[in-house]
Amino acid sequence: MLAGRRILLIIGGGIAAYKALELIRLLRTEGASVVPVLTRAGAEFVTPLSVSALAGEKVFQDLFDLTDEAEMGHIQLSRAADLVVVAPATANLMARLAAGLAPDLASTLLLATDKPVLMAPAMNVRMWEHPATRRNCTTLAADGVRFIGPDSGPMACGEFGPGRMAEPPAIRDAIAATLGDGPLTGRHVLVTSGPTHEPIDPVRYIANRSSGAQGAALAAALRDLGARVTFVTGPATVPPPSGVEVVRVETAAEMLEAVQARLPVDAAVFAAAVADWRVRSAAGQKIKKGSAGPPVLEMAENPDILATVAHMTDGRPGLVVGFAAETEHVVDHATAKRARKGCDWIVANDVSADTGIMGGAENAVTLITGEGAETWPRLPKPEVARRLALRLAEALSAPR
């Protein structure tokens, strides 16, 4: 996948720097060469010796190392690579590039390069969520910088949330995708996500507890394997990932229309928690309290988006994947659902309140395919997404 590629790897100063060593090993196993740059802070976490031993290359550390300047100027160093990767990308390093500052070798290389830049952020959750870091991310993304991660989970500092650096295999895949060598490069995948809101009147609606986390993670994982992703999302609380085409809808009917308008695609994954019913005729004005007592809502069934697409005879996606949210007899109900809806795979999960899955950070799923049911361990949602995206890539590349 990466044979002959040359990666300039900037290792910033964070506890996640140790994972950069594993990344170097993975990249070299694939046949890529890695030219490492270690920041001053990075060298507090991993030694230049271990970095150079794994990379099999000299480590560049100092902007004013005159020998290096004579052998290979920083301009040349920044351009001889196919891709510049920053892992871990600290808040400070991101801020320096966002502001166009170049006080050291790493930031000078980032400013001087004419090659794509991929950053794997790693920092404390408060730092990641700070408005300054949010601003810097937006600026960098607008400048063309790509991101992989961060993941959510327990952090070295004892806090919990987004900020953990993506795992080395995920970074390796994102590198391949950025270089146009991803297993889903050239594929178009549609993902539905989030809840739908079904209006009762102009101010009230029927909804569900879906946060859109699993759908967003899936869209990001597919993107990171090189897919072109169309992300049709209801009003979710988790924001859509960058680098995907986002189509925002409110109701199930709008979601169906948006999906149909974007076909054909190579694969479609229906992760949305679509409301099964809508109010037959939503009131045009706010319903007022009155002597008649509470209103009685007459419901109508919503279109089943997954079943509609899975049963298409013309232009059906090559692979149609549904989710099954169940609270009991998960595998039995999901297996029946797969048959009823006509989809190829069903990702079943137990959304009983005590699992904490709906709206939570983790998911425990069983993948049901034509070959049977496969139960995965409970994993963070991004990891479930990554596994599913890899399976999807495998299925799409298999001869039919």
Hey, what are 327's tokens? 């609270």
Residue 194 as a binder of ligand CTP (CB under 6 A): the answer is no
**274 contributes a contact to ligand CTP by CB under 6 A:** yes
Residue from 86, 97, 218, 324 binding ligand CTP (CB under 6 A) = 324
- The residue from 276, 355, 360, 379 that contacts ligand CTP (CB under 6 A) is 276
Q: Tell whether residue 145 is a contact of ligand CTP (CB under 6 A).
A: no
Site membership for ligand CTP, residue 258 (CB under 6 A): no
Q: Does 181 bind ligand CTP (CB under 6 A)?
A: no
Strand order in the sheet with 228-233: 245-248, 228-233, 188-193, 267-270, 319-326, 345-350, 365-369, 372-375
CA 146, chain centre distance (Å):
12
Q: Which position among 251, 302, 335, 363 is part of the footprint of ligand CTP (CB under 6 A)?
A: 302
Q: Does 17 bind ligand CTP (CB under 6 A)?
A: no
* 268 binding ligand CTP? (CB under 6 A): no
In the complex, minimum distance from the CB of residue 232 to ligand CTP, in angstroms, rounded to a whole number:
10
Binding to ligand CTP by residue 231, rule CB under 6 A?
Answer: no
What 3-state class would DSSP assign to 23?
A: helix
Position 305 contacts ligand CTP (CB under 6 A): yes
CA 392, 397, 399, 400 torsion-angle sign: positive
Residue 252 binds to ligand CTP (criterion: CB under 6 A): yes
C-alpha 281/C-alpha 177 separation (Å) is: 47
Residue 303 in contact with residue 253, Cβ under 8 Å?
Answer: yes
249 within 8 A of 255, measured Cβ to Cβ: yes
How are the residues of the chain apportioned to helix, strand and coil, as percentages rounded to the nearest 5?
35, 25, 40
Chain Cα centroid distance, residue 298: 39
Q: CB-wise, 178 or 233, nearer to ligand CTP? A: 233
The reply to whether 157 belongs to the active site is yes
Residue with tokens 């997404």: 385
Among 270, 320, 381, 388, interactor with ligand CTP by CB under 6 A: 270
Our CA dihedral for 324, 325, 326, 331, rounded to 10 degrees, sits at 30
Nearer to ligand CTP, 78 or 210 (CB): 210
Exactly one of 53, 156, 157, 203 is catalytic; which is it? 157
Question: Is there binding between residue 136 and ligand CTP (CB under 6 A)?
Answer: no
* One-character DSSP codes across 213-264: HHHHHHHHHHHHTT-EEEEEE-S-SSPPPTTSEEEE--SHHHHHHHHHHT--
Q: Is residue 60 a contact point for ligand CTP (CB under 6 A)? A: no
Piece of the chain touching ligand CTP by CB under 6 A; list 74-82, 107-115, 155-163, 269-277: 269-277
Considering only 83, 306, 319, 357, the residue that binds ligand CTP (CB under 6 A) is 306
Contact by Cβ (8 Å): 175, 183: no
Q: Measured from the CB atom, is 32 or 325 closer to ligand CTP?
A: 325
Binding site for ligand CTP (CB under 6 A): 192, 252, 270, 272, 274, 276, 302, 304-306, 322-325
Catalytically active residues are: 157
